[in-house]
Structure 1
Amino acid sequence: MPNHNNNTTLAGYGVLTALLLVPCSALAAGFDIWIYKLNYQDNQQQWTVTDGRPVTERDGYDNQPNFSPDSSQLLFTSDRQAAPNSNSQTPAAHNDIYQFQIADSHIEQLTFTPEQSEYSPQAFKTDKATKQITYVVEQGVPHQSVWQQTGNAPRKRAIKSLIPTGYYATNENLGTLLWARYAYSLYFEPNGETADERHFVVANVGRSIHAIPNDEAFSYLHKQLDGDRLIKRYSPKDNSHTALIALPNSASEDYAWSQNNWLFNIDNGQLVAWNRASKNSWQLISSIPLPNANYLSASRITISPDNQHLAIVWQRK
């Protein structure tokens, strides 16, 4: 096996069992985010990964990372204590959205809602004047929907659907794909319309859904009756579903796309990738050992738009 302390290249793959997380405050404990440096050599079609550093390292819930479009920041949800200048003077029993600056490791709180929790943040603009983010607001069972916040202005609904949304993926040219929290099903809200039961897409879907880079389509994890799990491409334009690649039987259901159309996954302590262009099998990039003795396993991953950073969520003991 390759040593994670050295730069390694593609070779093979293994297996991982991951914890299924649903965005619910009852599960909000014991997760940290670490960030790793990536490098891609286009002439050899090889990736390397170097040792990581913590974005968060504490007892508590720090999870659901997403990079900003310019790759300079990492958004995440956290149950840490509210900032001193907020209206709350007590530790937060809820989750807010925070922002990590990759250059200097500065963390800034972006939402202040003592009575509600926010999850699944995504950034669309990152300059201070027009900083625009979206996130899921948990407003009590079963109400859970996607909202948009621009700068310090009051937030507003990002989509019109009232389907209880756990996760979502947006293609600005098409609309938003929604993962219904209690149904494990997908619904699609086209731009300018309202998603409801008429916009049902598919059932038996895992939480990891994405807008596919450089494509007018989305990807999702489809759980088959025989136990297989397929990552599929969904095109709203013609309502088509196409299988891309199957996951190993016990690998993590959380995957991520790079902007040059590689799929990444964590598989038995290994970072593995699949090249959509070559359509070969999963290939090994590097071993990803536990950061230290405080951790049990890896779950979510995300790749920065410039393909230079990887963020991994680690479950704490």
Structure 2
Amino acid sequence: MLKNISLLAFLSLGFIQSLHAQGASDLWVVDTEGKGGKFKLLTQTANPLTNRPEYDNQPNFINDSEMVFSAADQKGNHDIILYSFRTGNFTNLSKSPDRSEYSPNLTDCKQYISAVVVEPDGKQRLWLYPIIGEAPELLYDDIAPVGYYDWYDNKAAMFVLGEPNRLVYARGKGDLQEISKNIGRSVKNRPNTPEISFLDRNDLESTEGREKVAIKSFNLKTNTFRSLGHSLPGSQDLIWIDKNHLLMAKGNEIFIKNVKDSDWLSLGKIESSTHQNISRMAYSPELNKLVFVMNRN
């Protein structure tokens, strides 16, 4: 067991079901310019980064030129893939015929790629894959099932599936701090803060028959909550591009919101005759690129 690293992950029942019925999706990339409130998408530069009938999804940047994502092979097994924007090469970081890896990300200590692993017996637990290529390590043998997650201070927060689902922060072995219950699938560390942001499904509004979910954050140092507005109607995935600005998407259109504002502003629509419905996104301020997932028609 790796010392001094704990996990915060979150999971919904839909996540478990989706592992067994993943649709065809590709990664796309678009250039950006500006920062903060002047952030813009150069939508005319958008193009597919992958183009396969299988599942390519869940991108995360791990440094200033590389990202990792989960990709299915032709047999439906999911591995961790590394893509380099510097070389344009794709490399398998895992190739495990008896298990599938999802939601890869870099740990705070930068020594591991973490991933949710569906093991041969169906358990879903968090594993760590050493950057130097050594054998992967199981992080917690007693926490399952886990799903999406993010890191803060070499610890993480977990969505633990149960009755009800719980969002917890693993402060240490056997020391799980409960943050909330009944959350959505986006759990993200707010950059340069001790806050974990999440979608609170206990606080809903309805617009045109679609749900808007409250976006909240929890300060892990002061144990206090902050309200950050509501999600786009019907959208589940958000990311931070800095400590004050959030991105979400609806259909093929991407929106931005300052945490101090209630309204989402459109950054533009991605035109495509082959793909639709943007979901997960990853942003690199060093590369000025936004990577996002789109479903194949």
Q: What does residue 282 of structure 1 align with? A: 264
Distance 2:174 2:178 in 1: 12
CA 1:177–1:144: 2 relative to 1, 3 Å: same
| Equivalences, count | 274
**1:36 aligned onto 2:30:** yes
Q: What does residue 232 of structure 1 align with? A: 216
The alpha-carbon deviation at position 125 of structure 1 amounts to: 8.3
Q: How does 1:130-279 map to 2 (within 5 A)?
A: 132-139=112-119, 143-150=123-130, 151-159=132-140, 161-172=142-153, 175-181=155-161, 184-190=165-171, 192-194=172-174, 199-224=177-202, 226-227=204-205, 228-250=212-234, 252-276=235-259, 278-279=260-261
Give the unaligned 5+ runs of structure 1: 1-19, 81-90
The one-letter amino acid paired with 2:71 is S
**1:93 aligned onto 2:80:** no
Distance 2:21 2:296 in 1: 13
**CA-to-aligned-CA distance 1:239-284 (integer Å, 9 cap, x gap):** 322211112333x2101001353101113432211123x5353222
**CA-to-aligned-CA distance 1:177-232 (integer Å, 9 cap, x gap):** 11224654312101x32355xx3321121111011101011000111364440110
Give the unaligned 5+ runs of structure 2: 1-12, 206-211
CA 1:237–1:116: 2 relative to 1, 3 Å: same
CA 1:272–1:63: 2 relative to 1, 3 Å: same
Distance 2:285 2:57 in 1: 19
What is the Cα-based RMSD across aligned positions, in Å?
Answer: 2.6
The one-letter amino acid paired with 2:290 is L
The alpha-carbon deviation at position 34 of structure 1 amounts to: 0.6
CA 1:124–1:305: 2 relative to 1, 3 Å: farther
1:243 is paired with a residue whose SS is strand
Does the Cα contact within 8 Å between 1:116 and 1:139 map onto a contact in 2? Answer: yes
What is the TM-score with the length of structure 1 in the denominator?
0.78
Structure whose residues are more often strand by fraction: 2
CA 1:265–1:96: 2 relative to 1, 3 Å: same
